[in-house]
Amino acid sequence: MGMVTDSAMVVSAHPLATAVGVAVLQDGGNAIDAAVAVHWALAVVAPWAGNIGGGGLMVVRDEHGTVHTLDFRETAPASAHRDMYLDTNGSPIGRLSLVGHRAVGIPGSVAGLYVAHDSLGRLPMSRLIQPAIDLAERGFTLTALEAKELNSKLASIRSASTRPSIFTSKATWVAGDSLRLPELARTLVRIRDAGPDGFYKGLTADLILAEMQRGGGLVSRADLEGYRPIWRKPIKGTYRDLEIITMAPPSSGGIVLIQALKAMEVTDVKAMGWQKAPTVHRMVEAERRAFADRAELLGDPDFVPIAAERLVSADYMAQRMANFDATKATPSSQVHAGDPLAESEHTTHFSIVDEDGNAVSCTTTLNGSYGSGVVVGEAGFVLNNEMDDFSVATNTPNRFGLVGSAANSIAPGKRMLSSMAPTIVTRKGDLFMVLGSPGGATIPTSVLQTLVNVVDHGMSAKQAVSAPRFHHQWKPDTIRIEQNAITAEDSLALVRMGHALKVRSPIGRVDAILVLPDGRLEAGSDPRGDDAAAGY
């Protein structure tokens, strides 16, 4: 079993950020205050994904059961256009949408944190941002994992940035090195003192625009000043006796998650057995159909009509699974999007429950690790490469191998489709679970397996997040598996059904909180990362 606390808990990707969140709760802050403080802290201690230069999605359920979902996803610059990454033959140009200034979407995190805090927070923002400022000024010690991550991205940071930064001040970083970020500290102080205007206007905006000019980027002053987060209606679905509350488009993660759960709900998953061939087969066939829908039908709801309610309904999924064959795989080439009218793996997630029962599930990202590799000169923070989450060209895979269609094409001011799936689960009106994960396309499938592990296989939160995972996303037509996720015998059975299997690096880093029958909280912090839980 994971750590158990009596009344409040924070689970995040870094022990220092988790500690910041717990201190806020102990100071009388609520779960939203803690989430905001954890986000600021992750922008310092987890610069590969924690950010002020990216965006995210937040699902909040307050103590009275009211749900709020906030979309602070990045938007395309006003001068962006559908074919901006294509050559005259219509082929994608190199790594334009991945590395450097043209890959950058308008950052949403700072605006998002203020909007969430102003609506739902309790403590002053200065109290919530100060720990991050202190961490940036004093510095913090790199773990082995963080040193490795930073070293792997140094070349792209050096090539993409137009000014030197702390990140590139060493040839190689090792565990135990101290990373001090004085320029970032000064940027955070400007935000503390001027609010969102300390980022979207004034000196920080000037530094972002100067960086864009030096590197040929598209972000303009009007883009920065015009950015607005959006409160969205959540996507809700049921699985057995649970209510699943998750993020609507422009995230696809919630819809993919509930579609797959709907396909599993009609079977006795427990009897089929944990990660046995029949269970894996059915889950993969459900994922295949859900990701085919994602590719064709999903995008920014302010730009394309999306029949979200229909997509997550039981009868729609029954229709999608009608051609399911329990004995053999359906080749992805034969699976197309349904007719509902007839991304990085380097993201970071945190889950928080406070003593009043307010819960926050928040996923935030730069897209790739260290985003576009562009560190804003003299401002000390990394900008996202979120533009790669658009369909750069129809049916051209992005960095996660995901393909898309016109629904997710680039347009000025449009939000790019995401796979993030911050999720809150209730049972008969009571909080049951708070969870989410990084991992690009593997996010909804990681959340799916964690939930099914708890609900159907009776695992504890710690067992559920630690258990090895597998993933399928329609195209490529392969089941990606972690080492030891499926036995040799079951793997063989799946191959005989027509599935291809491929072992890959660890999938996701789920951070979950499970409410035990006696009301205490159990942490599921993922052993795949430096993730840490704490509470009281």
Residues labelled catalytic:
347
CB 513 within 8 A of CB 492: no
Cα 459 from Cα 49, distance rounded (Å): 29
Side-chain half-sphere exposure of 321, counting CA atoms within 13 A: 26
Cα 380 from Cα 187, distance rounded (Å): 8
Q: How many CB atoms lie within 10 A of CB 441?
A: 27
Radius of gyration of the chain (CA): 22
Among the listed residues 533, 513, 446, the one whose alpha carbon sits nearest the alpha carbon of residue 14:
533
Label residue 331 exposed, middle or buried (CB < 10 Å: 0-12, 13-18, 19+): exposed
In sequence order, what are the residues at sequence separation of 6 or more whose Cβ sits closer than 8 angstroms to the Cβ of residue 215? 100, 101, 160, 162, 374
Torsion angle of the four alpha carbons 11, 15, 20, 21, in this order, in degrees rounded to the nearest 10: 0
In sequence order, what are the residues at sequence separation of 6 or more whose Cβ sits closer than 8 angstroms to the Cβ of residue 163? 211, 214, 375, 377, 378
Q: How many CB atoms lie within 10 A of CB 41?
A: 30
CB 62 within 8 A of CB 358: yes
CB 133 within 8 A of CB 193: no
Q: Which helix (H) or strand (E) holds 426?
A: strand 423-427
